[in-house]
Amino acid sequence: MIRSIITGTGHYLPKKIIKNDYFLKYKFYDKKGLKIKKSNEEIIHKFQKITEIKERRYINKNLLNSDIATIAAKKALINSRIYKEEIDYIISAHNYGDIHSTSLQSDIMPSIAAKIKNKLKIKNIKCRPYDMIFGCTGWIEGMILANQLLQSKYAKNILITSSETLSKVVDPHDRNAMIFSDGAGAAVLSAIEYREDKYGIVHYDTQCNNNEELYYLTNGPSLNSNYKKSLVNIRMNGRRIYEYALTEVPNMLKNILDHAKLHIKDIKKILIHQANAKMDYIILERLLKLYNHTSLNMDLFMKIMPMTIQKFGNSSVATVPTLLDLIIKGKMPPHEIKPGDTILMASLGAGMNINGMIYRFPKKKYYEKKNTSKKL
C-alpha cells in the first residue's frame, strides 16, 4: 500500500533578532487614523502579555522570500537523501512572493516555486512548480495537495516549501506589526510502499469560510495617512480572527480525529500555527474539553503543544514546518517525536481558511533512495 511519508525536513530562521524594545520609537495609530495616546511602553507590555511574543526574526534586506525558501528546501532535500532531479512537484506556500527592499512591491511572476526550482538548479522539465496562496494555512494545504498527488500515483517525491518575509509588508504605525516575522520551512513527501496503512498522512480536512470572513485579514494603506512608503500593508481584524478561531478550530480538529477513529489521547503533539499564545491556549483548552478533560493546566498545554511564538513571532506559513523540523532534529528539548508517534498539525489563515492533518511517523526511518553520492 502506498503511503505519503515525510522523508526530509528543513527550515531557515534569520539571524537578526528583533526584541520588543525595537518598537519603542515607533508612532502607533488607531483604526481611525489617530495617534494612540498610550505610551509605547504600555502598548508593548500589553502586547507581550497577550501574545507572549518577546522577540522575532527579520531577514537581511538583500534576501528575498525565494532565497530563504531555497535554503530550507536544500536542507530538506539533504535530509531526505532524495536526489533533486527526482522531485516531481515543488509546491511553494507563501502570501506575498518576493518583496523587493526598495520598491516594497510584491513579485510573484515567475512564481516562487519556479524561482526555487531555478535556484536549486533542477533541470528536470517534468518537475512542476506550483504556488499555494492560502494564507497562513498554505504549508499544510500544500501537504494535503501533495498527498493527493502521491496517492493518485502522479508523483513519487514532492517538495513542499513555506516562506514569508512579513517584515517587509507590515505597517510601522500599526501595533499588529509586532506580531509578524520572517522564516522558511520545507519538507519532502514521498510515496512509500508499506504493508500496513497506518503510517504517514492518516487524515486531514480543510474548512474555508470566505464570506464576511474574507476581510478579517487583508491588505491596506497605513493607519498613518502621511506614510506613503508602501500601499501593501497587512491589515488585521484581531478580534474577529480571535472569535472565529475559538469557535471553529477546536470543532474541526475533533472532527478530523473522529473521522480517523482516534482520540486526543492518541496524539503525542499538536503543532499549531502561532499568532497569539493566548488564542492557542484557549483553542487547546476547548479541544480538550470536547473530550471531557478536567485537569486543564499550563503544564499539560506545554507538554502537548510546543510553542515557538515567544522567540520567533508569527512567520505565517513557515510556523508549523519550522516547529516540526526543530523537534525532529532534537532542537526543542524536552519535546521529541519518536517512531510510531502520531501528531496533529493545524493552522488558520487569511480567507478565513483553517485546516488540520494527522501524521503518524513510521517505526523506522525509511528512504526509497539511499544514494547520497549525487550532488544537490
pLDDT top residue among 101 and 167: 167
Q: How many percent of the chain have pLDDT more than 70?
A: 95
User: How far, in Å, CA of 186 to CA of 180, rounded?
Assistant: 19
The CA-to-CA distance between both ends of the chain, in Å, stands at 29
Q: Is the predicted pLDDT of residue 31 greater than 50, yes or no?
A: yes
pTM for the structure as a whole: 0.92
State which CATH number among 3.40.47.10, 3.80.10.10, 3.30.420.40, 1.10.10.10 fits the domain covering 200-360: 3.40.47.10
**CB neighbour class for 107 (10 Å; exposed up to 12, middle 13-18, buried from 19):** middle
**CB neighbour class for 53 (10 Å; exposed up to 12, middle 13-18, buried from 19):** buried
Measured CA to CA in angstroms, residue 123 lies from 59, 81, 145, 235 at distances of: 29, 18, 23, 40
User: How far, in Å, CA of 69 to CA of 12, rounded?
Assistant: 8
Q: Which of 277, 297, 284, 349 is nearest to 318 (CA)?
A: 349
The pLDDT tens digits of the residues spanning 8-18 come to 999 999 999 99
Q: Is the predicted pLDDT of residue 370 greater than 60, yes or no?
A: no
DSSP, res 316 = G
- Which residues of the chain form CATH 3.40.47.10? 2-193, 200-360
List the CATH code of the domain at 2-193. 3.40.47.10
Write phi, then psi, for 269 (nearest 5 degrees).
-140, 150
